[in-house]
Structure 1
């Protein structure tokens, strides 16, 4: 598959270096190289490109603003930020870039980015259409908040219609049988009335969706129900998709990793008593905690202590009995030379272990603490 690439950087040396590296990757065609936002917009108006490599700061212009303008001109355009400005990483992810690469750039790193872009292109070709504009946004991490295009919250006709929406959302576009829905959502005591309650909830859900012009996303067929997610932006699905790209954490993707960690604002449907969601809640929670520990450890090893401590504090709040999380936090306090905080954390961990499990900290942790 041929991929047409536009390079945008105000430094000619960087344009040349990127061009030389990308030209070594099979299928990549350098469609153009420009050194200003105005040139980039003019080029994009006359040429269709698949991928744009953009510096965050282009002379006096903002690469973030340019990316939004180019995306407006071509909704299918993939954006890759290539920059030495790490501090812009979190803002950059508001543009939903394909990647964020910190200079210096290596051939291997570019090959990974091009491969990811190619996979995305194949997916779009297979589906036969480009991405559908999102008309609903779902924040399911830390609660359940659904808003429309204008930011207005959906008004639910009943708690059960909202729960049915969440249930079908968790099916991720797959079908769910009527029998299974009734078993999971409606109390067994409702007996024969379960089907009536389900039909009522379906009617109410369709009414709510119709106020946003989305009644058609909910379909039924042969005693099964399905909700299309093409027009819905779902935070926990996006979180999991982004998380899957971090097989390792290094200096090239550390800012992207920090941005993904910040996406996890709480457990799935945290304030909702949805028993049918417990397994998925635990699975996503476990994924987050494993990733957050890897990230905190990497930050500690690379002298980004305060960020590591912040993440570790969150992990300890989630589970005070987790020794790995406590150890990471204590190592952070030790690196900051905050002996008082370190002693307090150790004593608190020791006390909660005794109170809840009637055990002592591991011999390894006791030995480490005694050496301080």
Structure 2
């Protein structure tokens, strides 16, 4: 799947290109930025395959941004988008893949996308890459040079747990692993179990065509995070970026929402992971709530409703969140929806906690 970035300070032009991209049959993942520096910060932490850049932008123009992006990741393909044809020669001097005049049409975009496809086939790396997904369970894929995904199966539940532990810790010493995963075994047997299980992990995820995702140096075992994709790592980076400026990071929060498909390692009874999973969920919920309040204050009530709804997916009996949604429904003149929300809250509280909703919430509907 292509990871695409659209950067244009003209919102309507950017949205038009995003719409045309979304209507294409080929799978892709596109994110839009109206600010060059925000786009650059995102690209520093996330692989971008193709960047569609408007040339005339304030602060950092498209040509300057193209150099920043390719310095960050040489394989990022640059497509310049502009309303002026005077930049064409300069654009191709910068090794741009293409140069498109506004307004962009679906037919013209097809030409660019075919060119991208040809380039990808010519420059595709010979090595597969490992993709690890830890939210809502644990799934591993190996992406082949042709772009196909092959599921990776680990040998046993203990092999899965060891790999999950290493992924979450990044760097860990052998004693900590043994104390966590083989506590209670005599030392010799514990060390033997660790060594054999680690062998089977490495055998499953490593092939002769690419570098090792796990490095063992003396007593230390390290995950080489640059050699794999992990949704957890991207999610944590997004949380960090969003905290810097929650009001301006709506695209990043939407990406975080897409990544958070369910609790970390759902279905895996790993005691060591439970606190970590709760911490991630709590941080994510705080950001959702912060943004929902922001939308509320700006009068963007539908966006606020969506944010509060996402919170309830994580914690369905948040009485305060139900109350906010009821207030918004009433402000929008949707009393039936407000009543439905109240009845939902009432039923859950009675069933799960044996209590009634707060009287102040009930008064809202009188």
Alignment counterpart, residue 194 of structure 1, candidates 190, 193, 204: 190
Distance 2:314 2:240 in 1: 22
Alignment counterpart, residue 130 of structure 2, candidates 136, 139, 144: 136
1:145 equivalent in structure 2: 139
Q: 1 or 2 for the larger relative contact order (CA 8 Å, sep ≥6)?
A: 1
Is the Cα contact below 8 Å between 1:206 and 1:215 reproduced in 2?
no
Alignment counterpart, residue 35 of structure 1, candidates 82, 105, 111: 82
Q: How does 1:184-223 map to 2 (within 5 A)?
A: 184-186=180-182, 188=184, 192-211=188-207, 213-214=209-210, 216-223=212-219
Distance 1:324 1:189 in 2: 47
How far did 1:323 drift? 2.4
Is the Cα contact below 8 Å between 2:132 and 2:229 reproduced in 1?
yes
Distance 1:214 1:275 in 2: 33
Q: How does 1:80-99 map to 2 (within 5 A)?
A: none
Alignment counterpart, residue 22 of structure 1, candidates 55, 59, 62: 59
Is the Cα contact below 8 Å between 1:56 and 1:64 reproduced in 2?
no
5+ residue gaps, structure 2: 1-6, 14-33, 35-53, 68-78, 121-126
Cα deviations by residue, 1:321-366 (Å, 9 ceiling, x for unpaired): 3223322332343345433332233234245445555555446534
Is the Cα contact below 8 Å between 2:292 and 2:304 reproduced in 1?
yes
TM-score in terms of structure 1 length: 0.63
Alignment counterpart, residue 317 of structure 1, candidates 309, 313, 317: 313
**SS of 2:226's equivalent?**
coil
Is the Cα contact below 8 Å between 1:296 and 1:328 reproduced in 2?
no
5+ residue gaps, structure 1: 1-5, 74-132
**SS of 1:156's equivalent?**
coil
2:24 equivalent in structure 1: none
**SS of 2:215's equivalent?**
strand
TM-score in terms of structure 2 length: 0.64
Is the Cα contact below 8 Å between 2:155 and 2:200 reproduced in 1?
yes
How far did 1:39 drift? 9.0
**SS of 1:138's equivalent?**
strand
How far did 1:55 drift? 9.8
1:92 equivalent in structure 2: none
Q: Please tell me whether residue 334 in structure 1 is matched to residue 330 in structure 2.
A: yes
2:238 equivalent in structure 1: 242
Aligned residues: 296
Distance 1:221 1:41 in 2: 51
